[in-house]
Amino acid sequence: MVIVEAKNIVKRFGKITALNGISLTINRGIEGLIGPNGAGKTTFINIILGLIRPDEGYISVFGMDPWRDGAEIRERIGVLHEKPQFPKNFTGREYLEIVGSFYGYGKYDVIKKVNKIIRIIDLEKFVDRKIGTYSAGMVQRLGLAQALIGDPEFVILDEPTANLDPTSRIEFLELIARLYRDEGISFLISTHILSELERVCQRVSIICDGIIRERGSLIDLTKKYVTQYLIEVKNPIKLYDRLRDESIVEKIEFYDTKIFVETRNWREFQKILFRIILDNNIEVISVLPRYGALEQVYRKVVG
């Protein structure tokens, strides 16, 4: 199912070109939109939401024009902006019930809806505390709960983990993956923090200077761009001795049980690696990118 279809979108702010001919299709699932600050991510999100109008190009959301049909589209989309602000003297429950009333739910339906979201988002432990006492992770969960009040089909998360510690980032993104799996909600995650996205995103678009530089599944992008791997085995010296003479290996070294390999052609290297492993009965523990796969992809694409 196509949610967003953009073709040759251009947006200028005075002499600054924020988007320079973006073409992008966002389908059902979990999509990552990554790029440095100022790359055009937030401008593109605002165009999807119908908050600003592109200067050139075509865009549709659920088959509608977001500028003309913005109100109808926003009824089907939830949004969590970077650094959400909430009234500190309200409890989380009180705030969510107020938000629910804006959607036209009756009092009983609001309570029922809020209780369901509290359960789904795991807010029970702190939802009846004052929002002013919340940690950053609690605030992000409350923001996600607010984004879900209207039963959206598609939720946009703008830098959702930027202010979280590593543990909270992991927990938040695992929650996103669960919401897609169990509730069927699709997500667009816009961020410049790469490592955690590998846990949840099915597809990634890399934007820089208002241009989509690369797009694809993480598997395909890894095959195309990732060249550095760590191989952990029970007998690294045996594998090292057989790999170091292979012409496809550009760099190799080992320490402890790990072998670092840099190769110019991972697909061909895989064939050689697995042949050596099978022929020599070498026990493999893991074969992983040396650094985060998405980080390597990003560095190669953006430079």
Lowest mean pLDDT among 49-63, 67-81, 97-111: 97-111
Note the pLDDT of residue 130. Answer: 97
Strands 16-27 and 2-13: antiparallel
DSSP bridge pairs for 216: 204
What mean pLDDT comes out for the span 23-43? 92
Note the pLDDT of residue 19. Answer: 97
- Specify whether the CB–CB gap between 74 and 150 falls below 8 A: no
Q: Flag whether pLDDT at 196 surpasses 80.
A: no
Q: At 61, is the pLDDT very low, low, confident or very high (cuts 50, 70, 90)?
A: very high
CATH fold label, 1-76+154-217: Rossmann fold (3.40.50)
Over the chain, what is the mean pLDDT?
90
Question: What pTM was computed for the model?
Answer: 0.84
DSSP bridge pairs for 228: 262
Please tell me the CATH code under which domain 226-302 is placed. 3.30.70.1510
Q: Flag whether pLDDT at 193 surpasses 90.
A: no
Tokens representing residue 180 in the block: 């897609």
Q: Return d(Cα 99, Cα 93) in angstroms, integer.
A: 10
- Per residue in 121-172, pLDDT (tens digit) is 989 999 999 999 999 889 999 999 999 999 999 999 998 887 788 888 888 8
Highest-pLDDT range among 10-19, 97-106, 232-241, 251-260: 10-19
The domain ranges of the chain are 1-76+154-217, 81-151, 226-302
By residue count, the chain amounts to 303
- Which has more pLDDT, 252 or 163? 252
What mean pLDDT comes out for the span 256-273? 86
Please report which residue ranges of the chain form alpha helices under DSSP H: 41-48, 70-74, 92-102, 107-121, 136-148, 166-183, 218-225, 236-243, 266-279, 293-302
What mean pLDDT comes out for the span 174-186? 93
Strands 77-80 and 56-61: unpaired
Q: Return d(Cα 110, Cα 87) in angstroms, integer.
A: 19
3-state secondary structure of 72: helix
- Specify whether the CB–CB gap between 190 and 33 falls below 8 A: yes
- Per residue in 34-45, pLDDT (tens digit) is 988 889 999 999
- Which has more pLDDT, 266 or 282? 282
DSSP bridge pairs for 30: 187
Q: Flag whether pLDDT at 192 surpasses 80.
A: no
Strands 228-233 and 258-263: antiparallel
Lowest mean pLDDT among 83-92, 224-233, 287-296: 287-296
What mean pLDDT comes out for the span 245-253? 88
